[in-house]
Structures are given as structure tokens and as C-alpha cells.
Amino acid sequence: MPLPQNTNIFSVSSLNQSVANLLEQEFSWIWVEGEMSNLAQPASGHIYFSLKDHSAQVSCAMFKGRNRSLKFQPENGAQVLVRAKVSLYQPRGNYQLIIDRMEEAGDGALRRQFEQLKIKLAGEGLFDTSSKQDIPELPEAIGIITSRTGAALHDVLSVIERRFPSIPVKLFPVPVQGTDAAPAICHALALIGEQVKHGDLTCDVILLVRGGGSLEDLWSFNEESVARAVHACPVPVVTGVGHEVDVTIADYVADIRAATPTAAAETVTPDQSSWLQSFDWVQQQLLQLTRTRIERYLEKIQWLRRRLQQQHPETQIQRSRRQYQEWVKRLMLHQRSMLAIHKSKLATARAKLEAQNPTVLLEKKQQSAFYLTTRLQQATSNNLAQKTAQLSNVARTLNAVSPLQTMERGYSITLDSRGKAVTSITHIRQGDTIETRLLSGRIISQVKSCIKSDDQS
């Protein structure tokens, strides 16, 4: 059968090249999840394996330059997520995946969701700095959203107690991991915003915190609902989730992201001692300003008085006198008002310091010392009784093996002329003087003869 005119006849090589180009153009970079099998790791450093599911498989290759970034040891049966290009191995006509990145499927899937949500929310402007609220320099009250039993709550309260203990704190307990965590966090944020809006709650900054954990443990703070709740909250939100290396979607949306719960508490809590020093400085500046103004007004009064003395019209004198009296009155009222305001601030600061009276803290420490002293005395008494009982037991044991105890049963000890115990008949000879010791005394005798026993003959 003759071929039609203009028929394009492919060689095998050109056909495979065309198919390879089509595959690479159509698929570009793709993500594939499956189970590893037929794993081979030759000396070249490349990795070859098959990726399969319940009904199909595909050949894969990950070259040496890319597999250095692996964070786990590949093995047959492992469930993995790979980022790859579809390619054709032209010498054999087999298509395969050329892998650029590979990770374990569980965390990898979560990280993929994380990146997708991050791109989505960034595109909507939830991360823009223009939408972030300023944190108050001195909060009237701090709201804390975290677990009631977690270490993060203890860390945050410790920092606030150390830096500015007079700031009121309101806890909104929520679970910080698991399926119930995200809805609870959203509800707490919405509740704070609603109560602040209606004047039912005083809170001008929120701490959203929890301790460290795995990516799965922290996933509640990567939920889209939590991110939108943080963005919609009318009260500034400071996050402190996990350790310094942990970054969540909530951190990107928050008005300020702190590395840890402790750092978050330090971010929103001013240093009390610095504020007290500032109060003292303001008071000194106020007094200096008041003195300066008084001096200027007095100089002006003296100048006006000289003008009055030169002109002598009665009307001008009376008018100037009234002005003078009015200026003095206003000056005194202003001075009294400013002094009253700063006295009030000083009294407030003094009351806050009095709340931390060392006498109260000393009484607590004394009670603790008395309790520990009582425990020490009881432990010493118990230990002495135990050692006394042990001594009695040792004395009874020693008495049981004592030679005197053996002599009470009718036994004796025989010593030679040098005072050494005679344990064998070979140690003495006829005519030697020996000493026999009994419980009640000693017997000195002379050996007439030595007779061996039958078992020594």
C-alpha cells in the first residue's frame, strides 16, 4: 500500500524526543505522593526507585545534586511526597519522574497546605504591614489566649509579674492543639473583640501563645479560620507560638510576632522601673518649667509696673492692676492643677509599688523556712532512730560470733609460750609450757606427751 504524499515518517529517536518534549511542556513541575519500592542507591550517589499506589507505579530518579537536601533516610515501603518533572528516558522509551524535592508524606502534605494558604492570604493582603495595629506603650489590661495547664501560661505570667505586676490580666483558656483548638481560638478572639466594643471588657492587647511542638501539634495556628479571626480582631494581637524557629500562619497575620511566649510577654509589658524614673524626670521638668514661667511673669510684671509709674493715669493703673491680678490667679491655678495631676500620678505609682511590699514577701519566706525546718527536724529524728536500730542489730550479730560467747558453751583456747593460739599438735613438743584460757580464768601446764588423732596419723 503506497504512503500518502507529505507523510511525516519518524525515526524512533525523533519520536521519543518529541514525546519527551510534550511531557515536559505539559506537566512542568508536579507533586506526586506514593509508596517507595525497588529502591537502588548505587555508588554514583543517585537514587533510583519506583513510586506506586494500589494500582500503578512509575519509575523515579533523584540525582546526587538534589538528594543531599533529604532530611530522612529513604527506604522501601516509605510513603513520600515528591516534587518532580515528567520526563522520557529516550534510549528505552520509558517515561519517568525526575525528582527535585522529596519529603515524608505526613509533614510534607502539611507544609504544602501551609505554603498554599500562605500564598492565598498574602494575595488577599492579610499580611500587609499597613493593616497591622500599634501595640500600646502601657496596656491598661492584657488578654491571654492559651491553655490553662500549659507551660506557656506560667512563662507569660512570670514575665508580667517581674516587669509590671500592676497590669491586669484576663485569661481566655482554650485547647491549643487538636480538632477543637481552632474553633476555640476563633471564639475567644471574637468574644474579646465583642466585649471590648460594647465596653464590657478592658483589654487593649491580646497574647496568643503556646509552647513548642511538631508541625502537626502547631497546626491549629495554621488554620485559615484562625488567621482570619486574628486579622478581624479589633484588639492588637501579639503571637508567641512554639520555639524561635517555629513560624505559623497566625504569626504572619498578627500585629506583632514574637519568637516565644516569654518574648511575647516582654513585648507588651513595659519595664516598671523605667516608668518610675520617667515620672521623676517629668516632675523635675515640670517644676523647672513652672519656676521659669513664674520668673518670666514676674519680670513682665516689673516691666508693667515701671510703665505705670511713668504714665500715672489712674485708669491705666487700675486696668494694669486687674490684669496683673488675673495673671497671678491664672498662674497659681495652673500651677496647682499641674501639681495635683502629678501628685495623683505619683500616688498611683506609689500604691502599685506598695502592692509589692517586701514585708509581705518576707512573711511568706519565713513561713516557708519554718515549714522546711520542721521537716528537717523530723527527718533527723527518723534517721537517728533508724541508725540506732541498725546498731542494735550489728551488736547482736557481733555478740553471736564473739569468742567469749563460744567459751560460755564450755570451749577454751590453748596458747603456746609465745602467746600464739595452738591449732595443730605439730606446733608444740613434749616439755613445752602451754596456757589454757577458760571463761573464768587460765591454766598453766607442761606437756608430757603429744598424741596424734587417728585422722592425722
Per-residue pLDDT tens digits for 153-197: 999 999 999 989 889 999 999 999 988 999 999 999 999 999 999
Beta sheet of 433-437, edge-to-edge order: 413-415, 433-437, 442-446
- What is the mean pLDDT of the segment spanning 127-136? 92
- What is the mean pLDDT of the segment spanning 129-134? 92
Residue 196 CB partners (closer than 8 Å, separation 6+): 202, 203, 204, 234, 235
Domain ranges of the chain: 12-105, 124-128+138-270, 273-323+331-354, 413-450
Residue 82 CA to residue 80 CA, distance in Å, equals: 6
Domain covering 12-105, topology? OB fold (Dihydrolipoamide Acetyltransferase, E2P) (2.40.50)
pLDDT, residue 457, reads 44
Phi-psi region of 6 (alpha: psi -120 to 50; beta: other; left: phi over 0): left
Task: Evaluate whether 176 touches 150 at the Cβ level (below 8 Å).
Answer: yes
Is 408 a residue whose pLDDT tops 80? no
- What is the mean pLDDT of the segment spanning 345-359? 78
Mean pLDDT, rounded, of the chain = 86
Domain 124-128+138-270 superfamily per CATH: Succinyl-CoA synthetase domains (3.40.50.261)
- 208: its cell numbers: 496568643
